[in-house]
Amino acid sequence: MVAYLITQIIGLLRNVVISDAFGTSAALDSFYAANRVTELLFNLVAGGVLGSAFIPAFTGLLAHHQRERAWKLASAVANLLLILLILISLLAAVFAPQIVRYGLYVLAPGQNSGQEDLSISLLRLMMPTVVIFGLSGLAMGILNAHQKFWLAAIAPAMYSLGQIAGVLFLSQSLGILRLAYGVLAGSGLFFLVLLPDLLRLQGKYHPSFDLGMPEVRQVMRLMGPRILGAAVVQINFIVNIMIALGLPNGSVSAITYAFTLMLMPQAAIAQSIAVAAMPTFSAQAAQGKLDDMRASLASSLRSVLLLAVPASLGLILLRTPLVRLLYEHNEFTPRSTEMVAWALLWYAAGLVGHCLLEVIVRAYYALQDTRTPVVVGVVAMSLNIAFSFVLSRWFSQIGWMPHGGLALANSLATALEMTALLILLRRKLGGLQGRSILSGLGLAMVSGLGMSTGLLVWSRASVGLPSFAVTLGGVILGGGIYLLGMLVLRVPEMRQLLDILRRRFSRI
């Protein structure tokens, strides 16, 4: 979790460096358009697909003490992935003009001919990152399966550092190319930082495809629904952008900034817990220990609730000073702050659903069921699109900024998706220790109520203070009240945390 938090902070610093260097220039638009294509290709072929399909199979072999067979599986997947990604990258480079001219009008509408030429050049330059990230994703899956999480979680920070170095240290005469070179360097650093842990595992590489190996076919079978699921997420994102383009100026930027801010605590809380829990889920499922898996899942969901509830309330109550502190300078006006804070209000309301969904979906993957999350996800995407049209129009009719309706639509659809998957998972596992989970939610809400009261008082008392003081003071005050509530209510996880810290300090 600490590594994820560090990664998010460095990513935020990267955004500040890029915005200071390039502002909102046409060249930066071209970079983001080209980078969006490489990210789309990676997400469709290798992104979370590898984690959902590869880790359960690989961990299952390790759980049954079939280490040699596990490394044969890893080698076969690596070889297949390398060939596939190289082929896709070469085709994308050859057909870059067609991709830009006939595809980016959806992903980045409004580009002129000069921007198109620059986007083509940048796309070709950055295509190797698709291959590098694909192999890095596989390496992260191998490390996670061996319960090694630190380097895998800190690796994305290296990607951001590469971009920061490219912008700050390469010649300004290169223009936007220095950011593209930074992307290449960052992707290389991303992979290199994983190597020490990977080499220490002393696994044996096999230069073959092993297509006859049942586990290889199983990974390919599980990847199919996940590719569809990844495509659904991308389509949903594009549709939301297209709807926002029909709203008042600044709506697209507002929902993008707000969604990025919501994802920061989501990554630090939910992704860290989900990534760390998935190998355990996979091993328990492979060994048929469903009682243990239910206990592990309930514990993970309780932990998410105890952290996500205060994060959601904190974002809602501190959204305006936070946005003002991070972004309000130069071309980012008070009106921009108002628009982003409005979208963040409705995105933050759905943070708990987003966080729980991360863990729940991993449980399905551990059970080697990638179909159910995809089917439910497709329904949720359809609801999100329908809600987006209805709520944005309704917000406009009652005099509210309509882009907030897009954020609320996302939160509602995610909450329904999470609820449906949780109900289906409960049936699949024959129970989920619901009392324990609901108890965690109740404890979080009681402590969160005290925290919210304190933050409301602080917001009135801090009027006129600088945004930095308001935000930092609110975080310290709100966090202190919440932790005090956890201690007073004698939350078991709080006592466990204190015991861990006490043992660590006694060793020091």
pLDDT of residue 401: 92
368-410 per-position pLDDT tens digit: 887 898 889 889 988 998 999 999 999 999 999 998 999 999 9
pLDDT of residue 505: 81
Lowest average pLDDT, out of 147-156, 157-166, 356-365, goes to 147-156
Residue 121: partners with Cβ closer than 8 Å, 6 or more residues away: none
407 with 346: CB under 8 angstroms?
yes
Three-state DSSP state, 320: helix
What average pLDDT score do residues 261-289 get? 88
Spatial separation of the C-alpha atoms in residues 399 and 17, rounded to whole Å: 36
Residue 48 confidence (pLDDT) above 60: no
> Where is pLDDT greater, at 294 or 256?
294
pLDDT of residue 444: 93
> Where is pLDDT greater, at 26 or 390?
390
> Where is pLDDT greater, at 88 or 29?
88
Residue 329 confidence (pLDDT) above 70: yes
Spatial separation of the C-alpha atoms in residues 391 and 154, rounded to whole Å: 38
> Where is pLDDT greater, at 20 or 230?
20
Residue 52 confidence (pLDDT) above 70: no
> DSSP states of 96-111 as a string?
HHHHHHHHHHHHSTT-
Residue 452 confidence (pLDDT) above 90: yes
pLDDT of residue 268: 87
Q: What are phi and psi of 320, to 5 degrees?
A: -70, -50
80-93 per-position pLDDT tens digit: 888 988 998 899 88
Q: Determine the length of the chain.
A: 508
What average pLDDT does the structure give for the chain?
85
What average pLDDT score do residues 296-308 get? 93
pLDDT of residue 230: 67
Lowest average pLDDT, out of 188-192, 333-337, 400-404, 477-481, goes to 333-337
Which tokens sit at 51? 């984690």
121-135 per-position pLDDT tens digit: 888 999 999 889 888
Which residue type is seen at 212? G
